Every structure is written in C-alpha cells, then in structure tokens.
Amino acid sequence: MKILFIVDELPFPPRNGVTIPLANFIERLTPHHDLTLLYTTAKAIDDELQKQVTINKEMVKDVWISQCSKKSVFKRVLDELSISEIFSFCWVYDFSVIIPIAQDRNFDVIWTGMCGNITAGLIIRDSLAPHPLLIAGANDSISAALRRMAKLYLGKSTSIIHKLKGITQWVRVPVVRQIEVRLLEKADICLFQTEADRRLLDCASISKLHDKIMVVSNGVNESLFGIPFPSESDKDVLFLGELSGEYRFIVEWFVRNVWVKINEKYRHSRFTVVGANAPPDLRRTMSEIPNVIYKGFVKEIKQAFTGVGVMAAPVFKRYGLINKVIESMAAGVPVVGDQGSFNGIPGFQAGLHGAVADNAENMAKEIIELLDNYPRRMQIACNARSLVKQHFAWQPKVDYVMSQISSRIGPPAPQ
C-alpha cells in the first residue's frame, strides 16, 4: 500500500501527543508498505532542519518538504468568522511541485494530522485521480482543547491579559467546533483517542461523522514495562508535559498549591518538572519554590522515571488520552491526577490503578499517602502496569486501523 503522510511537525523523535501516534504507526508500517512523508513548514530550510529531516528519512521511503506561509491576521479572522478555516490553521500552500510527483506515485491513502493538515490533504487528494482514501489522524478535538485553554486562562491565571484571552477563546469555541466538524466530514476516516472525543463531535455534527470516527488510542513504548518498580526510598514526585501551552498554568498551580504542602512533610523530596519550552515567568516561579527542579526536554522517556515515587498528572480536561499517564503506569510509577487524567483507560478504577483527586488539598493528601504507604504504592503500581499491558500494546491498534483501511480501498490492483 502506498501512503502519503502529511505533517506540520516531523514525527521522529516522538515527543508529544501529535508525534507519538504518527511515529509509532510509521515505525510499524514501513517494513510492509511504501511510505512518503510530506512536511509542510514555514521554517527556513537550514542545517538544523536538514538534520531533523535526515532522522525522519531513515523511517520512510522519502521526505518531501513544502514551505507554506500564514495568511494575514485580517484574512485569518475573516476565514474563521465565515466558518471556513480555524484562525491558527490558515495556511497558504503551494503544492505546484508536489502534486505532479504525487500523481506519479499513485497513492492509495493520504494520512493527515490535525485541522491544518486536513486542508493540505484535501488539496492534494482532490488533484489526484482516482482519489486516495483520506484519513484525518486528529487524535484530540481542537475545539475541546480551545475550551479547556480558555478555562485555564480564566481559572488558573491571575494575569488580566490571560483573562481577556480566556474570554476571547471561550467565545470562539462554538465557531471553531463548526469548522472542525466541517473539515472532518470531508475525510473518509477520522482517528480519535477516546469515546469522549467521538461524543463531543457527534453533538456538533448533523451528518454521518459518527460513522467516520474510529476510536484508536495510543499505545505505550514496551520498553517501559522493563523499568524496575520504585523502591521504598524513592520519594520524588514527577511532572511530565510540554510547557508552552496549558501545562504552564497547571505546573504553576501545582507548585503553589500542592507541592508546598507535600514539601512541608518531605523536606528532602524533589518535585521534578520534565518538559520543553517553560516560559520565563514559570521558570522564575519554579526557582522560588523549594525543591522544585526543572529539567527541560529529555530524549529518553525512561530517564525521567528514575528515582521517582509518584507521578503528579493533573490535567483538568475530560477528553483525550493522556500519554504521560499510561507511560507512567507502564513504568510502574503510581499516578495521582484528577478524574480526566485517566480518561480513555478501559477498566480503570480509582484507588486500584491510580489515585484521583480533583482539588489541591486532596491531591497533596493522596501523594503524601502514597509516599507514606509503600505497600499501597506498590499495589497500585502493579495493578496499573498490568492494566496498561492489557490494553495499550501498539501492534493490535495498527493492525485494526489497517484492516479498516484495506476494507475500504479493496484489494490492490493487479500488476
């Protein structure tokens, strides 16, 4: 099968909720299929970008680069108000060189990422005959993410500018949801992580979007199952997450309202924050609170779990699968989070596979309880690892998606 992946973020090395599913699908498909990666970017093609491209070329047959540019702010506002395109994804593409090459390749499938990539996929699909199957690997709902960001601006930040941003984003949510649904309806298959995402978009769709959505969660890196369980002396607390967006507010909230309580009892424990792009104001906050360590991005996720007793994973959202939660469960590190932290995990039971706390006081209490009670910590760690082993292997997910694709495009044409 010939598959064209269209991305605006190179998938290797996998590092976030966008790149993890793409990288794992590509890694498992490349031995058996003809894969091409089309990378759309506004970045200059310099030596650093070429290095990243070289890494990705090792995993696919070819990598194409197509430079694009953002529309003007006025045009982006107009496009969103006219229910045409989402403000953040209003790109100008020039595929005049790419399309003739794509026509020669005769692709069976075009596989895109989020909304901006879907637009690019539609442009290329509609230029090819016969039309390839279009897969929208959306993972999470854009409108749900916008709504959550608005709530964080309004609820977790004290900045007047952030409050105004929160109000603006809250008003945009119903408009963005309409655009999102319209784009997804043009795809043949839409991949989402959880049933919560399906329900959310079903409510906004008046067509047959329900039948196009396939709920396929991420898997976990199987090497995490080999990490030794934490010892009784491991008392550090870990947070994982990219910090330029919503997690910046959650980390600030946690260190000011939860960690200070934990650190009163565990004076020698550390709260380690692992994640790229922490803004200066968050770095200052972390430096002011005792025993908070910021490590930035780590290439090897297994390193992050060394010496950790508990993972703190507040997310305050009710959609999407939280990769760091299932990764921590696989690594044998108990997770304390809010109810939404465990969304999309089949069979999860609070107290058996992880600890649930929906406010600062209870979150501090649950973490202290696990640090105090090593037998309970081990019981949760063992139960959680077993649950993830049962439900989050990658290969069955890849096999399921490919079987659905094959059933829709039929057998390959005779050579």
CATH (domain of 255): 3.40.50.2000
Tell whether 154 is covered by a domain: no
What mean pLDDT do residues 315-327 have? 91
What mean pLDDT do residues 390-404 have? 95
Does residue 43 share a domain with residue 188?
A: yes
Task: State percent of the chain over pLDDT 90.
Answer: 77
Say which range, 30-44, 136-150, 252-266, has the weakest mean pLDDT. 136-150
Instruction: Give the pLDDT band (50/70/90) at residue 195.
Output: confident
Task: Identify any residues that bridge with 192 across adjacent strands, giving them in sequence order.
Answer: 139, 215
Q: Which residues contact 276 (CB under 8 A, 6 or more apart)?
A: 15, 242, 243, 244, 296, 297
Report the CATH number at residue 129.
3.40.50.11010
* H helix intervals, 247-359: 247-254, 260-265, 280-288, 301-304, 323-330
Torsion angles phi and psi, residue 350, rounded to 5: -60, 135
Report whether 29 contacts 2 (CB < 8 A).
no
Torsion angles phi and psi, residue 262, rounded to 5: -65, -45
Does residue 296 share a domain with residue 178?
A: no
What mean pLDDT do residues 368-385 have? 97
Q: Is the pLDDT of residue 224 over 60?
A: yes
Does residue 295 share a domain with residue 190?
A: no
Domain range enclosing 140 = 2-144+173-219+394-409
**Signed CA dihedral, 127, 128, 130, 134: sign only:** negative
Integer CA distances (angstroms), 146 to 129, 246, 263, 385, in order: 36, 10, 33, 32
Quote the pLDDT of residue 411. 60
Does residue 212 share a domain with residue 298?
A: no
Does residue 187 share a domain with residue 252?
A: no
Task: State percent of the chain over pLDDT 70.
Answer: 97
Does residue 302 share a domain with residue 245?
A: yes
Does residue 267 share a domain with residue 287?
A: yes
Tell whether 149 is covered by a domain: no
What mean pLDDT do residues 43-60 have? 91
Does residue 240 share a domain with residue 182?
A: no
Quote the pLDDT of residue 200. 80
Tell whether 325 is covered by a domain: yes
Quote the pLDDT of residue 204. 66
Top pLDDT among 195 and 253 is at: 253
Mean of the per-residue pLDDT values of the chain: 92
Tell whether 165 is covered by a domain: no
Instruction: Give the pLDDT band (50/70/90) at residue 384.
Output: very high
Tell whether 152 is covered by a domain: no
Say which range, 79-83, 108-112, 196-200, 384-388, has the weakest mean pLDDT. 196-200
CA pair distance 112, 206, nearest whole angstrom: 23
Residues, the chain, total? Answer: 415
Other CB atoms within 10 Å distance of the CB of residue 74: 8
Does residue 6 share a domain with residue 97?
A: yes
Residue range 9-36, pLDDT digits in tens? 999 988 877 888 999 999 999 999 999 9
What mean pLDDT do residues 64-93 have? 94
Tell whether 167 is covered by a domain: no
Tell whether 316 is covered by a domain: yes
Does residue 275 share a domain with residue 209?
A: no
CA pair distance 55, 78, nearest whole angstrom: 38
If phi > 0 it is left, if psi is from -120 to 50 it is alpha, else beta; for residue 307 that is left
Does residue 232 share a domain with residue 209?
A: no
CA pair distance 197, 193, nearest whole angstrom: 7
Does residue 334 share a domain with residue 232?
A: yes
Q: Is the pLDDT of residue 99 over 70?
A: yes
Q: How many domains does the chain have?
A: 2
Tell whether 162 is covered by a domain: no
Quote the pLDDT of residue 303. 87
Quote the pLDDT of residue 298. 85
